[in-house]
Amino acid sequence: MFSLGDYFTKEISGNSYDFEIIDTVTYEGEDYTLADNEEGETFIFVNEDDDLTYLDDLNLTDEILDFWRYYQDNPLDSIGDWEEDEYYDREDTLNTSQCFDNENYDEFSDY
């Protein structure tokens, strides 16, 4: 298993590169690892059986990079479909007029 910041070496098109893992992405049900080489170029690898295989499909690579960049620029979009603070506003006011159970408690009665 690879983690962010791990280094590894892979051969691509006859050239050996040193990579650093910068992120992992799940795109259309598949797990991908994004890694930068020494020159700052980003490459995408498929996670297969605890091994990383270079993704050589340039169209899919572009789609994954666009997807990743979008969520890097818009992090709040990735946490769900709540409108700004709608969830938290609702949580704050949910129990103001509701009882926690069906029993009415009397402060001065013995139980």
Per-residue pLDDT of the chain (111 residues; tens, 9 = 90+): 678 889 999 998 888 999 999 999 989 888 899 999 989 899 999 988 778 999 989 999 999 999 989 888 776 554 555 455 555 554 444 445 555 555 555 666 665
Token pair 């990079």 is found at: 65
- List, in order, residues 6 or more apart from 12 with CB less than 8 Å away: 43, 54
* Predicted structure pTM score: 0.63
DSSP 34: E
